[in-house]
Structure 1
Amino acid sequence: MVPMFGIPLLDLGWLVASLLVAGAITGILAGVFGVGGGALAVPVLYELFRMVGVPEEVRMPLCVGTSLAIIIPTSIRSFNAHRAKGAVDMSILRVWAVPVIVGVIMGSYVARYAPADLFKAVFVGVAGISAIRLLFGKDTWRFGLDMPSKPIMVIYGWIIGVLSALMGIGGGQLSNLFMTFYNRPIHQAVATSSGLGILISIPGAIGYIYAGWPRAAEYPDVAALQFPLALGYVSLLGMVAFVPTSAWTAPLGVRLAHALSKRKLEVAFGIFLLIVCARFAVSLLS
């Protein structure tokens, strides 16, 4: 089969088809869980980029950067849908806006020099803690009955930004965990978290383009890292295939989220995160 952009046409066709299906599923999960879809996009992209020969040393940051770019339209649609239902706490987003963006910029800079295992370790740690909290946590597990003071909120926002940039997520996992520990209902946590995806994904994607640009030059024979298939650590092919279906299905996920009970939503989110955590734990140990 004649190759296109250095990838056999049959492989390229399977890659695009897989990305379209994964994008549709990601959009639904983004709406249901308010996570931007990165928690699914990163492991899916990891397997797909492995199939087309992206080296292990740059595969994980390419997945993370592409995930952040994919999250941009998905998060915008998910946030607008949640805000239309009046479920978003804008006061929290206003406090977090600057520290989250600063954290994302710092995390993107670290990505330029970090080993691949760092990305996996962060993913496993955060996903594992979130899953345990959602599946086994009790209402008595609280840091407080109301949100903390502004200085503490700023620190939390910075941490969310750094870790999200290293995981390729929209911050939903982290902010959901944080808000439920401070007595906020899961539906409000999900809705508010959808707004973080916008604050994280845009500067994060730009940062990964910058971080990956010199690395792509070190792998001239890897077509998936070269223009027009990629810009730095952002796969343009991944974006083009993922974005249309994920943006289209995100509002469907929002409607599903508001139809589920609090406990069903927590259990579904917890199981999902546990699966993702297990996948990367195996990869990290192998």
Structure 2
Amino acid sequence: MHPVLIPGLLVLGAFTGFCAGLLGVGGGMLMVPFLTLLFTGMQFPDAAIVHMAIATSMATILFTSLSSVRAHHKRGAVRWPIVLALAPGILLGGLIGGGKIFSVLKTGWLSLMFAGFVGFSALQMLRSRRPPASRQLPGPAGMVGAGSVIGMVSSLVGAGGGFISVPFMTWCNVPIHNAVATSAALGFPIALASVVGYVWGGWNETGLPPGSLGFVYLPALAVIAIASVLTAPLGARAAHSMDMGVLRRVFAALLLCLATYMLWKAWQTF
């Protein structure tokens, strides 16, 4: 990797790390387009560029999630019983999605469907419609099922799962601050399972550039991870100082950006 690219990757890592702490998202939707452009300029194999951008983006969440969740945990905001209930399904879904499905699946229809889901969730947040007070998180089987969906979809689009898990938890009457903090904690099992799948799925791929571990490009991962680990606690601190209404609107705005990106991705595929 050319040294001139390092400052840009440091800025990208710093920004996505701050977003991870602030909103409980891994920053994958921000990193994937940038890394796709970067890998295209570096003349990586055309068939592997998007796969490597998604895999490298997800691998950075292994680091940002740990830094972010440490800051949230100090403030007592992480709902660890929710993490434990969702984690088994997340690991299963991440392994399935990040493995062979990821290497062969065209995600046009998936991107279109979840653009609709994310956009709907954003509009609901902007309208500040509160769910019925009686609505609670589902039982053990429902949590495993929800975790499987979160893990699989996250591994296929290279995101930390916050764009699904935060709306899911707030829909079940989990306060937004707790939902963001808990989503940050969920980022690690999502990333771990997905990265194992990416390495497995890309292990026998030919023509990948030096420095690749499966579909993960290690030089870019190292630079982004260094910056993001430093800024994630700053984002977590900002999240706890913000009014809940403001935080909800910021998250809704991000969801609309993600929905737009996924529509664009689906359009490219079709």
Corresponding residue pairs, total? 267
Give the structure 2 partner of residue 8 of structure 1. none
Match for residue 9 of structure 1? none
One-letter amino acid of the counterpart of residue 151, structure 2: G
Structure 1: gaps of 5 or more residues: 6-11
Code of the residue aligned with 1:227 in structure 2: it is P
Alpha-carbon separation, structure 2, partners of 1:273 and 1:241: 26
Q: Which amino acid aligns with 1:273?
A: L
What residue number does 1:235 align with?
217
TM-score, normalised with respect to structure 2 = 0.90
1:44 lines up with 2:34 in the alignment: yes
Separation in structure 2 between the aligned mates of residue 260 and residue 284 of structure 1, nearest angstrom: 34
The aligned residue for residue 72 of structure 1 is 62
1:133–1:177 contact (8 Å) kept in structure 2: no
Bigger drift between 31-40 and 275-284 goes to 275-284
Aligned identity (percent) is: 35
RMSD (Å) for aligned C-alpha atoms? 2.1
Distance, in Å, in 1 between the alignment partners of 2:76 and 2:167 is 21
Matched, 1:267 2:257: no
* In 1, Cα distance between equivalents of 2:134 and 2:209: 49
Q: Does the C-alpha gap of structure 1 residues 283 and 150 become closer, same or farther in structure 2, counting only changes over 3 Å? A: closer
Answer yes or no: is 1:176 the counterpart of 2:166: yes
SS at match of 2:73: helix
Pick closer, same or farther for the CA change 1:157–1:38 going to 2, 3 Å: same
Conserved 8 A contact 2:86-2:144:
yes
Where 1:112 maps in the other structure, the secondary structure is helix
> Does structure 2 retain, via aligned residues, the 8 Å contact 1:105–1:204?
yes
Distance 1:234 1:190 in 2: 27
Which one-letter code corresponds to 2:163 in the other structure? Q
Q: Using the TM superposition, give the Cα deviation of residue 85 of structure 1 relative to its aligned residue in structure 2, in angstroms.
A: 0.5
Alignment CA distance shift 1:96-1:21 (3 Å)? same
2:184 is matched with 194
Q: Are positions 1:111 and 2:102 aligned together?
A: yes
Render the CA deviation track for 1:174-199: whole Å, top value 9, x for unaligned. Answer: 11011110111100100111111111
The Cα shift of 1:62 comes to 1.2
Deviation at 1:126, TM superposition (A): 4.8
1:24-64 deviation per Cα after TM superposition (whole angstroms, max 9, x unaligned) = 00010000001122232223222322332335532222121
AA of the residue aligned to 1:158: S
* 2:126 alignment partner in structure 1: 135
- Give 1:117 shift: 3.7
Report how far residue 271 of structure 1 moved.
Answer: 1.4
Q: Aligned partners of 2:265, 2:4: CA distance in 1, in Å?
A: 23
Unaligned runs of 5+ in 2: none
